[in-house]
Chains A and B, each alone.
Chain A
């Protein structure tokens, strides 16, 4: 576990040195632009616009980082052969994977916290927002983070056995599929047999369900999010990440590094 931490910190350092956190500047610009824009366009819904725009930006920026860096976590180290010297040291392959995962999740956490602070700052500038709103926005940010961790795990899994481009496609594909789980469940058609429909239904419970983490509308309206849902989503993300990482480990420990 100690070595997992060392690898994670180094992964974090890599992200920082590769100027990943520069995206925060972009986020700041979006928030400033939004603040100016809402002042001119809409009356009465400034808060809502700032919250939904801010949360969307946090989510999109996070997803881009999670996918594009996630798919390179393992494959880049294999391509550049930076992995060779490391794996000849007393590092188990699962420790390496977990460290890589932890490192990117740490990066995303720092990044997301910074963006959330920016969002709260913008909210504070626009209005004297009530605690209710702040609470549900905080939960929404936390859910985005859970979602990002799951995306990183998936990207890491694909990164273990396919090319980055294909890994991006697979990760993005699963993410999008995971947003349409409800439609899949309700899928009814005369042209498709009952068996296919029940398979789809079953799949809809097994695929990573990214809809679970979407509480943006509730946050924008400052509605409270039940504590049970927070607990359930946390458990869901943790369990799903564990399953995906176990699969990644199984693949990676058998992998020959050419």
Chain B
């Protein structure tokens, strides 16, 4: 066979072959997607076993599992899936492999407890993880802060929250405001000011991006809630004057009650529902961040 002919033949074979590979790959992808849907799997759920298997490289394995935690959470959040069933076993393995991986406890404390869509909605797991963190790292006072958070935000157990903050404030190096929180909470229970201060503290003290982002969203939601309350007051005033609730914010502006159209922290205007209550606009990115479980504050 001449060189030219064999070269042409080779090109044809490669072209045909790769186009076949291309097509097959699409078929396989479709097939794998159906089999892997329920395949959110963690083959090894026992931390003790993983630790035994990873020999002296347990810290390295811990880092790998930690990476998986972040990817798992990020992936679920990205695709707006709310089931975070694997979060606990992953964190369990991670913290067993490396009991001093502070960030894993803090991350876990926050996202295990937080209500959907931002977390797994399992505060009892968050508490267990943080208690383990405290056992393994007694010097680290911020775990009390996180624990207090869960009682305060997720369980609404204010006496317990105050107790935890107070306990944490006694740890060496603990910030003075821990005591302040304890006092405020035991006195007033839940208040928007306390909540804002707590989230601001988290926002300022962490360097873990997903925790920071979460704190930011919570702060934005708190502000939006405060805004809405303010708008509702104005709406009530409007109703008193006009005899009917405002249809939108323009009515309030026309009535001279509002200097301009108010927007939420991400810059989208609020709107009024049929009953005349101010709400976050469904077009706003913040809308989907609101807790699914509206009963909790």
Interface residues of A (CB under 8 A from B): 37-38, 41-42, 45, 48-49, 52-53, 205-206, 209, 211-212, 215-218, 220-221, 223, 225-226, 228-229, 232-233, 235-236, 239-240, 242-243, 246-247, 250, 253
The verdict on A52 contacting B14 (CB below 8 Å), with A205-B26, A212-B32 known, is no
Can you list, as one digit per residue, whether each of B1-24 has a CB less than 8 Å from chain A (1) or not (0)? 000001100100110011011101
Specify the main secondary structure of chain B where it touches its partner: helix
Instruction: Tell me whether B35 and A45 are in contact (CB under 8 A).
Output: no
Instruction: Tell me whether B35 and A246 are in contact (CB under 8 A).
Output: no
Binds A, one of B40-48, B117-125, B199-207, B266-274: B40-48
Instruction: Tell me whether A240 and B35 are in contact (CB under 8 A).
Output: no
Q: Note all chain A residues with C-beta closer than 8 A to B44.
A: 45, 48-49, 52
Instruction: Tell me whether B52 and A41 are in contact (CB under 8 A).
Output: yes
Distance in angstroms between the alpha carbons of A37 and B53 in the assembled complex: 9
**Interface hits, B20-60 → A, CB 8 Å:** 20-22, 24-28, 31-32, 34-36, 39, 41, 43-46, 48-49, 52-53
Q: Which of A53, A221, A236 has the most CB of B within 10 A?
A: A236
Nearest opposing residue in chain B for A219, CB measure: B43
Instruction: Tell me whether B13 and A229 are in contact (CB under 8 A).
Output: no
Q: Note all chain B residues with C-beta closer than 8 A to A42.
A: 46, 48-49
Instruction: Please pick, from A211, A217, A232, A243, the residue contacting B27 in the complex, using a CB distance under 8 A.
Output: A232
Q: Note all chain B residues with C-beta closer than 8 A to A246.
A: 10, 13-14, 17
Distance in angstroms between the alpha carbons of A242 and B16 in the assembled complex: 11
**Interface hits, B250-282 → A, CB 8 Å:** none
How close is B132's CB to chain A, nearest CB, in angstroms?
Answer: 19
Instruction: Tell me whether A41 and B20 are in contact (CB under 8 A).
Output: no
Instruction: Tell me whether B17 and A217 are in contact (CB under 8 A).
Output: no
Nearest opposing residue in chain B for A53, CB measure: B53
Instruction: Tell me whether A217 and B32 are in contact (CB under 8 A).
Output: no
Q: Note all chain B residues with C-beta closer than 8 A to A48.
A: 43-44
The verdict on A41 contacting B48 (CB below 8 Å), with A239-B17, A239-B24, A247-B14 known, is yes
The verdict on A229 contacting B28 (CB below 8 Å), with A216-B43, A246-B13 known, is yes
Q: Note all chain A residues with C-beta closer than 8 A to B20.
A: 239
Instruction: Please pick, from A206, A220, A253, the residue contacting B22 in the complex, using a CB distance under 8 A.
Output: A206
Specify the main secondary structure of chain A where it touches its partner: helix
The verdict on A217 contacting B45 (CB below 8 Å), with A229-B31, A233-B28, A246-B10 known, is no
How close is B17's CB to chain A, nearest CB, in angstroms?
Answer: 3
Instruction: Tell me whether B48 and A236 are in contact (CB under 8 A).
Output: no
Q: Note all chain A residues with C-beta closer than 8 A to B39.
A: 217-218, 223
Distance in angstroms between the alpha carbons of A233 and B271 in the assembled complex: 54
How close is A187's CB to chain B, nearest CB, in angstroms?
Answer: 14
Instruction: Tell me whether A205 and B14 are in contact (CB under 8 A).
Output: no
The verdict on A220 contacting B32 (CB below 8 Å), with A205-B21, A236-B25 known, is no
Q: Note all chain B residues with C-beta closer than 8 A to A253.
A: 6
Instruction: Tell me whether A205 and B22 are in contact (CB under 8 A).
Output: yes
Distance in angstroms between the alpha carbons of A150 and B277 in the assembled complex: 64
Q: Note all chain B residues with C-beta closer than 8 A to A216.
A: 43
Instruction: Tell me whether A236 and B46 are in contact (CB under 8 A).
Output: no
Distance in angstroms between the alpha carbons of A45 and B44 in the assembled complex: 8
Can you list, as one digit per residue, whether each of B228-267 has a CB less than 8 Å from chain A (1) or not (0)? 0000000000000000000000000000000000000000
Q: Note all chain B residues with C-beta closer than 8 A to A225.
A: 35
Nearest opposing residue in chain B for A208, CB measure: B21
How close is B9's CB to chain A, nearest CB, in angstroms?
Answer: 9
Q: Note all chain B residues with C-beta closer than 8 A to A206.
A: 18, 21-22
**Interface hits, B156-187 → A, CB 8 Å:** none
How close is A3's CB to chain B, nearest CB, in angstroms?
Answer: 19
Distance in angstroms between the alpha carbons of A41 and B10 in the assembled complex: 55
Q: Note all chain A residues with C-beta closer than 8 A to B14.
A: 243, 246-247
Nearest opposing residue in chain B for A202, CB measure: B22
How close is A101's CB to chain B, nearest CB, in angstroms?
Answer: 16
A-B contacts, 20 of them at CB < 8 A, read A37-B49, A38-B49, A41-B48, A45-B45, A45-B49, A49-B44, A209-B28, A217-B41, A218-B35, A218-B39, A226-B34, A226-B35, A229-B32, A236-B21, A239-B20, A239-B24, A240-B17, A242-B13, A243-B21, A247-B10
Q: Note all chain A residues with C-beta closer than 8 A to B26.
A: 205
How close is A150's CB to chain B, nearest CB, in angstroms?
Answer: 11
How close is B77's CB to chain A, nearest CB, in angstroms?
Answer: 15
**Interface hits, B46-83 → A, CB 8 Å:** 46, 48-49, 52-53
Nearest opposing residue in chain B for A242, CB measure: B17
Distance in angstroms between the alpha carbons of A223 and B36 in the assembled complex: 10
Distance in angstroms between the alpha carbons of A221 and B21 in the assembled complex: 29
Instruction: Tell me whether A243 and B18 are in contact (CB under 8 A).
Output: yes
Nearest opposing residue in chain B for A56, CB measure: B43
Q: Note all chain B residues with C-beta closer than 8 A to A212.
A: 25, 28, 32
Nearest opposing residue in chain A for B13, CB measure: A246
Q: Note all chain B residues with C-beta closer than 8 A to A236.
A: 21, 24-25, 28
The verdict on A232 contacting B41 (CB below 8 Å), with A37-B52, A41-B48, A243-B17 known, is no
